[in-house]
Chains A and B, each alone.
Chain A
């Protein structure tokens, strides 16, 4: 056997073994756990890909035997496959860890459903990954898709699901509910990435890009920017745009509960120090600026009035930081190096209005959400107050967004009252008891969302032709 062929055979066998393991691993996970639809779709893809790669490797060796001159091409194909599998490898284990017992599945399903209502996002879904990082992330997927497209040319049977995204959840937050509302922000990143790369580009994204150019020209009008500096500045503006877009996107989908969850999360991470809240850094706009946009969006969508009577520290913080004067915002490259202040100013003046417009354009108009919340809040809170899963008082199911917001408001304002009611005054200051009752509130909230989804499904089938055929049979 020629040495080139022997090397190729060795390489192919190593890859075959690797792929074989991955395929078996995915199958085993699917056999032993339950996953939300997106994860199932991802595993199916990996399994198909693995089967395809194994077949292809056999064919490659055959080809190499017949046409030794093609050896370099075949070697390069194997190299491409290896690279792609390395990318997938990083996703498979965290996706396998995120089964329905370790993530808030009803919330994920709800978020997936809402995502599909967003402009150009029909049939899209996100795979949840449990990460060891104590932070929520959206794993950019454009690179994966690009590589998948190349791999598809020699493994045509396995095509990457067209609108699949990846969102990372800290594993410690997996089963909790309230802080996990942060995933809506990450879904925003997925949507932004999809819209940015769509063909033709979304017109408001194009408008945003021209806003960046306009604002940079405005910011540095006295001196012309060299291309490198221009690129850096544009990148920074791009980062800030995404963060504000994702915050507002989340608020449009899930209301003030997102802002509360965001405050909780930042508090847990220790990011709410007085000084840090007004600092823009190259990756994130200042928290105060973000909060100001939260409040503005909540006001415009009438949520702010609806939660006017919430007497909670989180809301006060939101209010206080959002009222900080824009003149106090500072841009720092790192902890001590100040950056050009004019970049912040033009971002606020020129870019942010364009972001607001984009968010309104892509998210579904939900004018009745606040009214439904106001109507349902009392009865949802009454249920939670007596330790009962929120349920509708009429035949129509509760609206999940109302459940989420009512439960969050209740959690922020009435938890001590519930603890005292059921555990007695002695437990009022008991941390473990508070933690236990938070867990219970979260469980009841999730159950209420799950019930509402079940009832919705039932209403969807009832009265249809399918239902009539069932009736006839019975």
Chain B
């Protein structure tokens, strides 16, 4: 069931320690309608971005060492803009920090007016219950022209949905009573970010070992040096 504006506002008024409370901060508006629809909240673009970096190798390998290798961090203060080149995707974050309760999931959608400029926000739009943090947004410019993004402007909308309880708990409305249905493990890897976050991977071999794969191909980049007997690999791995 999609949460209505009234329900979102009710939960936002709950004390932050209450299990069913929702936090969306800072919400900047004069009239509620400026950011709220009947069933969603509009969110603004934050000031920090991760831009794709030109790699020094022929591909990107999602492994433990990759977290900092793919992106360049950029800060664009309010009042300035960022140019997203044609056909390029960047990572941004919402200006708003979100906290979801354990009985609510969320989905981020591109604001329709933004979508009409051929900017697509989010390809992994689902937000799990209990998430807290600014939302990392994958912002793709799928048009043929560069597009300017202004931090502080509305960019996406957040739709919140209540997780349906099991039949025996269906009559109970409180989160507390539905704990069995709603038990989720908090992902402390992505806990409470206020900037867009680079992905955090384990090494592929470690992931694959968990499903029983014991032989894994890997790419090792090495340096060669000339010897009398020809080219030899240096011992240290790059």
Contacts and interface: CB of A to CB of B under 8 A. Distances in A.
A308 interface: no
Contacts of B195: 443
Interface in B112-135: 132, 134
A462 interface: yes
Interface in A437-469: 440, 443-444, 446-447, 451, 454-455, 458, 462
Contact of B186 (A388, A422, A462): A422
Main secondary structure on B side of the interface with A: loop
Given A34-B77, A391-B25, A447-B97, A423 B188 contact: yes
Interface string A85-116: 00000000000000111000100000000000
B75 interface: yes
Given A100-B75, A454-B26, A444 B194 contact: yes
A100 B99 CA distance: 26
Nearest to A462: B30
B194 A389 contact: yes
B191 interface: yes
B75 A387 contact: no
A134 B73 CA distance: 25
A382 interface: yes
B192 interface: yes
B78 interface: yes
A153 B26 CA distance: 50
Interface string B15-34: 11100000101101010000
B220 to A, nearest CB: 28
Nearest to B28: A458
Given A385-B17, A447-B97, A391 B77 contact: no
Contacts of A388: 16, 23, 25, 97, 99, 132, 192
A322 to B, nearest CB: 35
Contacts of B28: 454-455, 458
Given A34-B75, A454-B26, A422 B188 contact: yes
A9 interface: no
Interface residues of B, number: 28
B26 A101 contact: no
A447 B97 CA distance: 9
Contacts of A34: 75-77, 80
A386 B77 contact: no
Main secondary structure on A side of the interface with B: helix
A307 interface: no
Contacts of A447: 97, 134, 194
Nearest to B152: A454
Interface string A385-400: 1111101000000000
Contact of A389 (B74, B97, B188): B97
A383 interface: yes
Contacts of A105: 75
Interface string B41-67: 000000000000000000000000000
Contacts of A462: 30
A80 B192 CA distance: 53
A389 B25 contact: yes
B25 A382 contact: no
Interface string B67-91: 0000001111110100000000000
A388 B16 CA distance: 8
A131 B152 CA distance: 32
B97 A387 contact: no
Contacts of B16: 379, 382-383, 386, 388
A382 B17 contact: yes
A105, A386, A462 — most chain B CB neighbours (10 Å): A386
Contact of B192 (A423, A443, A455): A443
A450 to B, nearest CB: 8
Contacts of B134: 447
Given A386-B16, A388-B97, A440 B192 contact: yes
Contacts of A455: 26, 28
B71 to A, nearest CB: 12
A452 B194 CA distance: 15
A100 B77 contact: yes
A100 B78 CA distance: 13
Given A388-B132, A440-B191, A455-B26, 4 more contacts: A34-B76, A382-B17, A444-B97, A451-B26
15 contacts: A33-B75, A100-B75, A101-B73, A101-B74, A382-B16, A382-B17, A386-B16, A387-B99, A387-B192, A389-B97, A389-B194, A391-B23, A423-B188, A440-B191, A443-B195
Interface of B: 15-17, 23, 25-26, 28, 30, 73-78, 80, 95, 97, 99, 132, 134, 152, 186, 188, 191-195
